[in-house]
């Protein structure tokens, strides 16, 4: 490898490592005034503050974990069974196209257009409303994710169990689940991350009353508090980073945008 190639890869590695390192660095910093780079005080007080019971960030962390967990559980389960029906009982490709539509429009614009119905249902500004709005995006994603799973081999295995007298529960237990388990876990984490990363839709439907971690990051940015914004950022990055260490398949998606 030439020096230029080595330099290129080194620069790339630096660019990729800087964001998490800077977040961690700022979360331990205080009075980081211009032009100081390293010569400012460091502190653990922000982290101690987060650790206190009742701190807003701790509550946000709990809320985000619960919200994303619930959204991904519902989306994965519903998407799994819905995709089976789409794959087995429809021939027109336009059914699948219908699942792509909600997924490509910017979530925040979708929220703008959908908000009137949530307002009438009394769901705007509630956790249930944000959940429902996030499901509008994550459910089609799960449908698309599982659609390719339902192939001839799975169908043949279902028929095999049926010919041996198995009902739907037995078909699910012996023919479907053993093959689908791994995919279901990946889909769960991917829909979890879509919900976990979501800001615009959550802020608009939640009108600030559903303070997830992404909402808190923006709140601290607006308050010009880079230390707490960085700390909230670290809390946001930590779970996906953990997933990356466990199994990188949880993070890589077959078709999607980061935005």
Partner 1 sequence: MQAKRWRRRGVLAVVLAACALPLGLALGYAALYSLGLVGLLSDGFTLANWAELLGGEFGRSIVFSAYVALASILLALGVALTLLLAARPTLEQPAVYRLLFLPLTLPPIVAAFVVYQLLSGGGVASRVAWHLGVVEGPGAFPALVQDPYGLGIILTHTLLVFPFLLLVLLNLWQNEHLGELSRVAASLGAGRRDVILQVQLPLLLRGIFPLAALYFVFFLGAYDIPLVLGASSPRMMSVLVLEKLQRYNLADIPVAYAMATWYALLCLATIAVLYTRFRRRYQL
Residues 178-197 binding partner 1 (CB under 8 A) are 196-197
Contact of 207 with 125, CB cutoff 8 Å: yes
Radius of gyration of the chain (CA): 22
Minimum distance, C-beta of residue 153 to partner 1, in the bound complex (Å): 15
Minimum distance, C-beta of residue 28 to partner 1, in the bound complex (Å): 14
Q: What is the DSSP letter of 171?
A: I
CB-wise, 12 or 178, nearer to partner 1?
A: 12
CA–CA distance, 30 with 225 (Å, rounded to integer): 10
Number of residues that bind partner 1 (CB under 8 A): 81
Regarding 214 and contact with partner 1 (CB under 8 A), the answer is yes
Q: Which residues does residue 42 pair with via DSSP β-bridges, in sequence order?
A: 29
Six-digit token string for 94? 């336009």
Burial 201-227 (b: 16+ CB within 10 A, else e): bbbbbbeeebbbbbbbbebbeeeeebb
Six-digit token string for 105? 């429009």
Minimum distance, C-beta of residue 254 to partner 1, in the bound complex (Å): 10
CB-wise, 13 or 128, nearer to partner 1?
A: 13
Regarding 236 and contact with partner 1 (CB under 8 A), the answer is yes
Contact characters 42-81, partner 1, x per CB under 8 A: ------------------------------------x--x
Choices 85-93, 154-162, 165-173, 180-188 (CB under 8 A): range interacting with partner 1:
85-93
């Amino acid at each position: 490898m030439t020096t230029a190639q080595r330099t290129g890869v080194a620069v790339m590695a630096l660019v990729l490592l800087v964001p998490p390192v800077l977040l961690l660095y700022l979360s331990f910093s205080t009075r980081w005034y211009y032009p100081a780079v390293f010569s400012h005080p460091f502190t653990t007080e922000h982290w101690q503050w987060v650790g206190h019971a009742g701190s807003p960030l701790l509550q946000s962390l709990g809320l985000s974990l619960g919200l994303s967990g619930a959204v991904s559980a519902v989306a994965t389960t519903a998407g799994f069974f819905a995709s089976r029906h789409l794959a087995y009982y429809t021939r027109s490709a336009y059914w699948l196209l219908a699942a792509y539509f909600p997924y490509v429009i910017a979530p925040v614009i979708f929220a703008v257009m959908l908000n009137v119905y949530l307002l009438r249902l009394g769901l705007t500004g509630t956790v249930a409303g944000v959940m429902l709005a996030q499901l509008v995006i994550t459910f089609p994603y799960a449908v698309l994710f599982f659609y390719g799973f339902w192939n001839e081999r799975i169908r043949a295995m279902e028929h095999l169990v049926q010919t041996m007298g198995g009902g739907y529960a037995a078909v699910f237990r012996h023919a479907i689940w053993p093959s689908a388990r791994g995919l279901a876990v990946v889909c769960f984490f991917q829909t979890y991350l879509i919900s976990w990363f979501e800001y615009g839709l959550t802020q608009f439907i939640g009108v600030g009353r559903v303070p997830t971690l992404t909402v808190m990051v923006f709140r601290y940015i607006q308050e010009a508090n880079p230390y707490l914004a960085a700390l909230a950022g670290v809390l946001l990055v930590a779970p996906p980073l953990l997933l990356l260490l466990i199994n990188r398949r949880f993070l890589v998606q077959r078709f999607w945008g980061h935005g």
